[in-house]
Structure 1
Amino acid sequence: MFTSINEFVKEFESESAITERVLDSLTDESLGQAVTAQHRTLGRIAWHLVLSFNYMTNLGLTYDEPLADNSAPSSAAAITGEYRRLSQSFLRAVRSQWTDESLGNAVNMFGEDWLNGASLRYSLRHEIHHRGQMTVLMRQAGLRVPDVLGSTRDDWIDRGKEPLA
């Protein structure tokens, strides 16, 4: 659980920069990639990350920008642009509407009381989880996966080194 707005902002900025690198690597053609027809496509998962900012209004946050529409765009650039726009609006909302003390306030989410600071932690974990799903689908779609938490196989090859098994 976060107990400091500054602590959250620092971690969110770091994680959202990684997510932006992943989103920047998507192509319009790759958005339809799925494990099976019964699973979300790469584009739906990417759009789900954008829509996740909408859900944060359930915690009482209000944004200075319009929320994302439920229907996913067919453009990778549009998805990435919406992620950038709403992530910044989300950060402004947290910084201006919550304090370190209000991170200990509870809000009813899905029939349970969630502390604001715990909700912020969950939102990051949620994004990281789906970002991981996206990188697998990116590989299946033939895309180069960007550096997420260290060099990728492609980075090692580019350096003329043997990738780690």
Structure 2
Amino acid sequence: MYRKSEDFIEDWIASSAGTLSVMKAITDDKMDYSIVEGHNSLGWLAWHLVGTGGFFGQLAGLQIPAAAPGTSMPSSMTAIVEKYEEVIEAYKNEALTLTDEKLTEEVNGFMGPIARGKLLRILIDHQTHHRGQMTVLLRQAGLPVPGVMGPTKEMQ
């Protein structure tokens, strides 16, 4: 749980930069790649992180852009990356308005009341979870895997 806005901002900058590098590694022709048919594809996972970024932000009472319900996934990674970059910047700006007191305030989360700082921790954990899935799919799809937490095989 975050108790200091500076801690969230620092983690968000690092986490979102890693996620952005993974999204930028996805080519348009591999957006539909999934481990097996019917499972989450690279493009779906990237678009999901854009959507849930907005959803978590709205639950936290922050002004984070979100796609309207029912909005279809864009057909290009460039469009998804642009939307994700908007989410990144919105969190950086909105986090500056958070006081220590606001981080401990309870908000209505998707499973009931939750401290705002805890909800923001779950946001980053959720993003990390799906970024990990995307890195595995990148490798299986034959695309280079960027170094997020350290060097990858391609960097050796």
- Which residue of 2 is the match for residue 67 of structure 1? 66
Count of residue correspondences: 153
SS at structure 1 position matched to 2:118: helix
State the shift of 1:89 in Å.
1.1
SS at structure 2 position matched to 1:119: helix
Kindly indicate whether the alpha-carbon contact (under 8 Å) linking 2:63 and 2:90 is maintained by their aligned counterparts in 1.
no
Q: Deviations over 1:123-149 (max 9, x none)?
A: 000000000000111111110000011
Q: 1:111 to 1:22 in 2, by over 3 A?
A: closer
- Which residue of 1 is the match for residue 83 of structure 2? 82
Q: Which amino acid aligns with 2:130?
A: H
SS at structure 2 position matched to 1:36: coil
State the shift of 1:40 in Å.
1.1
Whole-angstrom distance in 2 between the partners of 1:19 and 1:110? 23
SS at structure 1 position matched to 2:114: strand
Q: Does 1:38 align with 2:38?
A: yes
Ranges in structure 1 where 5+ consecutive residues have no aligned partner: 157-165
State the shift of 1:81 in Å.
1.1
Whole-angstrom distance in 2 between the partners of 1:110 and 1:25? 31
Whole-angstrom distance in 1 between the partners of 2:94 and 2:151? 33
Whole-angstrom distance in 2 between the partners of 1:3 and 1:84? 25
State the shift of 1:32 in Å.
0.5
State the shift of 1:102 in Å.
0.8
- Which residue of 2 is the match for residue 123 of structure 1? 123
Whole-angstrom distance in 2 between the partners of 1:68 and 1:93? 18
State the shift of 1:29 in Å.
0.6
Q: Which amino acid aligns with 2:82?
A: G
Kindly indicate whether the alpha-carbon contact (under 8 Å) linking 2:43 and 2:77 is maintained by their aligned counterparts in 1.
yes
Which has the greater radius of gyration?
1
Q: Deviations over 1:72-106 (max 9, x none)?
A: 1110111111111121112212222x211110011
Query: TM (normalized to structure 2)?
Result: 0.92
Q: Which amino acid aligns with 1:71?
A: S
State the shift of 1:68 in Å.
2.5
- Which residue of 1 is the match for residue 112 of structure 2? 112
Kindly indicate whether the alpha-carbon contact (under 8 Å) linking 2:44 and 2:73 is maintained by their aligned counterparts in 1.
yes
After superposition, the CA RMSD in angstroms is: 1.3
